[in-house]
Amino acid sequence: MTTMEIFAWLLIGHAIADYPMQSEWVARAKQPGFTFDGEAIWPSVLACHAGIHAGAVKLVTGSWLLAGLEFVAHAGIDYSRGRGLLSYNGDQAAHVGCKVVWAALA
């Protein structure tokens, strides 16, 4: 695959993982401070969401390293958005920026 094909597949994977695979409940439950029955569950929900994205990167690139980097970056970006440090568009731009880097490294 060319770098551009890898980039395109990474964007497709991101779109699938961030929209149809992310329910409204997950979108709310991954936000910092979210609790359920008195328990803070947001860290595990955020980790699962980031793990889905990492899986998409692994499927496209074949690289566990890039998948790990995606896990950390995706969780950090979504955490920042949940804390109000990024807008929706800023969040998506940061995710696309990561895909540019992963495609270049792949």
Query: Is 99 part of any domain?
Result: yes
Q: What pLDDT shows up at residue 105?
A: 97
**Alpha-carbon separation of residue 77 from 1, 3, 58, 106 (angstroms):** 28, 24, 19, 21
27: in domain: no
Give me the number of domains the chain comprises. 1
Rounded Cα–Cα distance for residues 15 and 28 (Å): 18
Does residue 75 form part of some domain? yes
Residue 64 located in a structural domain: yes
* Segments forming the whole domain that contains residue 74: 3-18+40-105
CA distances 34 to 54, 75, 76, 84, Å, are: 23, 15, 16, 14
Q: Is residue 69 part of a domain?
A: yes
pLDDT score, position 83: 96
**pLDDT given at position 93:** 97
Residue 33 lies in a domain: no
Query: How does pLDDT run across 49-68, given as a tens digit for each residue?
Result: 999 999 999 999 999 999 99
- Per-residue model confidence (pLDDT) at position 9: 98
Closest CA to 59 of 2, 6, 3: 6
Q: Please report which confidence band the pLDDT of residue 96 belongs to, taking 50, 70 and 90 as the band edges.
A: very high
DSSP letters for 34-61: -EETTEE-HHHHHHHHHHHHHHHHHHHH
Q: What is the pLDDT of residue 99?
A: 98
Whether residue 28 lies inside any domain: the answer is no
Q: Is residue 76 part of a domain?
A: yes
pLDDT band, residue 90 (cuts 50/70/90): very high
Going by pLDDT thresholds of 50, 70 and 90, the confidence category of residue 36 is very high
